[in-house]
Amino acid sequence: MYGQRQSAEPAVGHPERVTITNVSPQLDGGRYAIKRVIGDEVKVSADIVADGHEVLSAVVLHRPDGERRWNEVAMTPTENDRWEASFRVSSVGQHVYTFQAWIDAFKTWRRDMIRRVETGQGTSVDLLIGAELIARAADRATGAESTELQRRADAVRASAERDPGFAAEQALDEQLARLMGKYPDRRLASVYEKTLPITVDREKARFSAWYEMFPRSCSPEPGRHGTFRDCIARLPYVAAMGFDVLYLPPIHPIGCDHRKGKNNSTVAGPDDVGSPWAIGSRDGGHKSILRELGTMEDFHALVGAARRQGLEVALDLAYQCAPDHPYVREHPEWFHIRPDGTVQYAENPPKKYEDIVPINFDTEHWRELWAELKDIVLFWIGHGIRIFRVDNPHTKPFSFWEWLIAEIKRDYPDVLFLAEAFTRPKVMYELAKRGFSQSYTYFAWRNARWELAEYFTELTQTEVKEFFRPNLWPNTPDILTENLQLGGRAAFMARAVLAGTLGASYGIYGPAFELCENRSIRPGSEEYLDSEKYQLRYWDISRADSLKDWIARINQARRENPCLQSDASLKFHSTDNDNFIAYSKSTDDLSSVVVVVVNLNSHQKHSGWLTLTLEELGLREHEPYQMHDLMSDARYVWQGPRNYIELDPGVAPAHVFRVRRRIRSEHGVDYFE
């Protein structure tokens, strides 16, 4: 679809003289789209060269995909034949851009004529050449501008012989040059051989705070299966923390065949509720709701109530089945059948997942399969859902995702997909390139300062930023890291700050997170003890030690400081104590600057010196500035690049400083913005 030439203007059969190469940004030669959100600036650049010494002009052309008219922005040469421009994308959906460049005859003539006049070499013949160029531009122009150009061409021509000085003055007039710039001869313009795609999403693709919650554990009474109605009652609690996405694990009927019991036991008792990811039973599959949660009406009520509180419900898209899912009976051709006639369950030898059968994407009947899988997404879109968290996308073909996401976004460009692929880096990147709006990351396992700095520099300061939008989760129902198991409450506090400020998008699995649940099923395992994946849990969300207020402050800081709403400006700063990590984010205009310092050691108070690169933060060497800690609301007045930091994990393991510049100083008192 992309990467193919779509001529921006009819071309003449003449060989091109201008070459446009090394275009940036582009992914795999235009094979994949770069990602932006609505209103973003797209900065583009290219090497543009031609033979000879003539003057070139170049433009970037862009438009929403499918529109006919290109928008054109002039490019500016910088150094070493590099040209630049930028434009804004102002609608959600696919956009494309390409380039055109040409040898500008009038600009060349004008440059040379100026040199001739300066050296007294201008002749009437040179002036007649100029007049001819102006007259031809008049033919390309229309209306008053055409008349004006013709008038000027005639004037130059008339005086070329008689009064060459006057004619030169006329021909080199600045106003004429501007007018000529509107009507260049582009018949021989080079058109860049590709149109490059941009996926423009709504803002939430870049900036989002997710809260994952098991509806069945929302019951206010221990032991009772939670319902959508219970979820509705829980919404104010989630909204008060400041989240904007409420993500629910699968809400579908849960398989009975080979159902798992508590703590992942292979034998389920009669009361065991099973894993929500073992989707499908006699009650239905991916388009049905687990009876215990409520009805479709209840679900609509939840989605609506959430929206009214600023929360958008995200569903889980887990393309796999319990052995008793209706698909297995109705479409055995979509599954692997073993020589003994049984359906192949999921395994990664020696591990076996008997409660789940994977879909066979190699099936000859892939067209029908893909159509049905797409239909599931459309079904839930029909029920008001616009965000999907996709379970294990790396075990389904890349080509499937590319197709599915493009199909959905063609009609619903506001739909977002979060890839839950914890796998090898290049596989994660490939999935993002194929269309996922956001991606889980290795954040949960990056603990040391160098690990975090290296990883987030890769994600935010390399080409990866063009297609991979990180979503940072300190925990998930599958991931209780050693750091959280051993670090106590301070570790949860620190990881929440890191997630919410390193990542413009982040999420927590609650209430386990804010209640600092840290018991693992056994030492060395990242599985929760009594995991909600296999049983109901009752959470006392009113506990005094809950981190809900800490989290609310993080989300408030994110909302009030635009610099925390994207990742592109992330920069690490040095400290003389390796237990600290320090970094900043800022907006382009430096109107919003935040510096975060975290003590990564959850057990010990640490102190040390932080060195900031002042200029990058909009600060001056000899002027004091105020560091306003948005977590504690304390304000410190600092001066110069080096300042002292002390963080006691027993109190608070992190500062989230809003940098406030001095706006005036009176009677020895400084005032800060």
Q: What tokens does 560 get?
A: 């009030």
The yes or no reply on residue 144 touching its own copies (CB under 8 A) is no
Closer CB to its own copies, 186 or 216, in the complex: 186
Binds its own copies (CB under 8 A): choice among 410, 424, 603, 620: 424
Binding mask 183-202 for its own copies (x = CB under 8 A): -----x----x---------
Active site residue 283: no
Q: Whole-angstrom Cα distance, residue 15 to residue 513?
A: 64
Choices 70-78, 139-147, 392-400, 565-573 (CB under 8 A): range interacting with its own copies: 392-400
Q: Return the sign of the alpha-carbon dihedral for residues 431, 435, 440, 443.
A: positive
Judged on CB neighbours under 10 Å (0-12, 13-18, 19+), 423 is middle
The single-letter code of the amino acid at 609 is W
Cβ 216 vs Cβ 536: under 8 Å: yes
- Pairing type for strands 593-599 and 654-666 reads antiparallel
Cβ 46 vs Cβ 83: under 8 Å: yes
Q: How far is the CB of 51 from its own copies (least distance, A)?
A: 5
Q: Considering 230, 298, 324, 391, which one is annotated as catalytic?
A: 391
Binding mask 23-42 for its own copies (x = CB under 8 A): -----xx-x-----------
**Neighbour-count burial for 495-530, b at 16+ CB within 10 Å, e otherwise:** bbbbbbbbbbbbbbbbbbbbbbbbebeeeeebbbee
Closer CB to its own copies, 185 or 283, in the complex: 185
The yes or no reply on residue 10 touching its own copies (CB under 8 A) is no
Residues 611-630 that bind its own copies (CB under 8 A): none
Binds its own copies (CB under 8 A): choice among 11, 24, 63, 361: 361
The yes or no reply on residue 76 touching its own copies (CB under 8 A) is no
Cβ 397 vs Cβ 323: under 8 Å: no
The dihedral region occupied by 103, where left means phi > 0, alpha psi between -120 and 50, and beta the remainder, is beta
Q: What tokens does 608 get?
A: 């040390």
The yes or no reply on residue 21 touching its own copies (CB under 8 A) is yes
Find the angle CA(211)-CA(582)-CA(239) to the nearest 5 degrees: 20
Binds its own copies (CB under 8 A): choice among 362, 621, 633, 666: 362
Q: What tokens does 13 get?
A: 């059969």
Choices 43-51, 195-203, 247-255, 629-637 (CB under 8 A): range interacting with its own copies: 43-51
Cβ 215 vs Cβ 293: under 8 Å: yes
The yes or no reply on residue 115 touching its own copies (CB under 8 A) is yes
The yes or no reply on residue 69 touching its own copies (CB under 8 A) is no
Helices (H) and strands (E) in the chain, counts: 14, 31
Q: Whole-angstrom Cα distance, residue 439 to residue 426?
A: 13
Active site residue 420: yes
Choices 47-55, 93-101, 535-543, 600-608 (CB under 8 A): range interacting with its own copies: 47-55
Binds its own copies (CB under 8 A): choice among 11, 55, 128, 378: 128
Binds its own copies (CB under 8 A): choice among 349, 523, 524, 668: 349
Q: Whole-angstrom Cα distance, residue 293 to residue 228?
A: 6
Q: Whole-angstrom Cα distance, residue 377 to residue 287?
A: 9
Sequence-distant (6+) residues with CB within 8 A of 525 are none
Total chain residues near its own copies (CB under 8 A): 57
Number of other residues whose CB lies within 10 A of the CB of residue 47: 14
Q: What tokens does 634 get?
A: 């304390």
Closer CB to its own copies, 28 or 666, in the complex: 28
Task: Quote the longest CA-to-CA distance of the chain.
Answer: 108
Closer CB to its own copies, 103 or 497, in the complex: 103
Sequence-distant (6+) residues with CB within 8 A of 477 are 212, 214, 249, 509, 512, 528, 531, 532, 533
Q: Whole-angstrom Cα distance, residue 315 to residue 323?
A: 22
Q: How far is the CB of 131 from its own copies (least distance, A)?
A: 8
Choices 8-16, 92-100, 236-244, 440-448 (CB under 8 A): range interacting with its own copies: 8-16
Q: Whole-angstrom Cα distance, residue 286 to residue 284?
A: 7
Binds its own copies (CB under 8 A): choice among 152, 394, 495, 537: 394
Closer CB to its own copies, 44 or 595, in the complex: 44
Which residues on adjacent β-strands are paired with residue 655? 597
The yes or no reply on residue 112 touching its own copies (CB under 8 A) is yes
Binds its own copies (CB under 8 A): choice among 53, 178, 664, 667: 53
Q: Considering 420, 514, 517, 532, which one is annotated as catalytic?
A: 420
Closer CB to its own copies, 51 or 633, in the complex: 51
Closer CB to its own copies, 398 or 572, in the complex: 398
Query: Would you call 460 helix, strand, or coil by DSSP?
Result: helix
Q: What tokens does 515 get?
A: 């209640």
The yes or no reply on residue 47 touching its own copies (CB under 8 A) is yes
The yes or no reply on residue 266 touching its own copies (CB under 8 A) is no
The single-letter code of the amino acid at 441 is T
Q: What tokens does 77 get?
A: 């040469």
Q: How far is the CB of 124 from its own copies (least distance, A)?
A: 8
Binds its own copies (CB under 8 A): choice among 162, 308, 426, 622: 426
Residues 485-524 that bind its own copies (CB under 8 A): none
Binds its own copies (CB under 8 A): choice among 427, 541, 552, 590: 427
The yes or no reply on residue 22 touching its own copies (CB under 8 A) is yes
Q: Whole-angstrom Cα distance, residue 380 to residue 514?
A: 29
Q: How far is the CB of 138 from its own copies (least distance, A)?
A: 17
Binds its own copies (CB under 8 A): choice among 207, 214, 380, 400: 400
Closer CB to its own copies, 77 or 640, in the complex: 77
Binding mask 308-347 for its own copies (x = CB under 8 A): ------------------------------xxx-x----x
Closer CB to its own copies, 10 or 339, in the complex: 339
The yes or no reply on residue 136 touching its own copies (CB under 8 A) is no
Choices 398-406, 496-504, 551-559, 572-580 (CB under 8 A): range interacting with its own copies: 398-406
Closer CB to its own copies, 7 or 121, in the complex: 121
**Neighbour-count burial for 377-414, b at 16+ CB within 10 Å, e otherwise:** beebbeeebbbbbbbbbbebeeebbbbbbeebbeeebe
What is the residue whose two structure tokens read 């239909």? Answer: 375
Q: How far is the CB of 440 from its own copies (least distance, A)?
A: 16
Q: Is the link from the previous residue into 350 a cis peptide, with omega within 30 of 0?
A: yes
Q: Which residues bind its own copies (CB under 8 A)?
A: 14-17, 19, 21-22, 28-29, 31, 47, 49-53, 80-81, 112, 115-116, 118-119, 121, 125, 128-129, 132, 188, 193, 338-340, 342, 347-350, 352, 361-362, 364, 366, 393-400, 403, 424-427, 430
Residues annotated as catalytic (active site), given as ranges? 391, 420
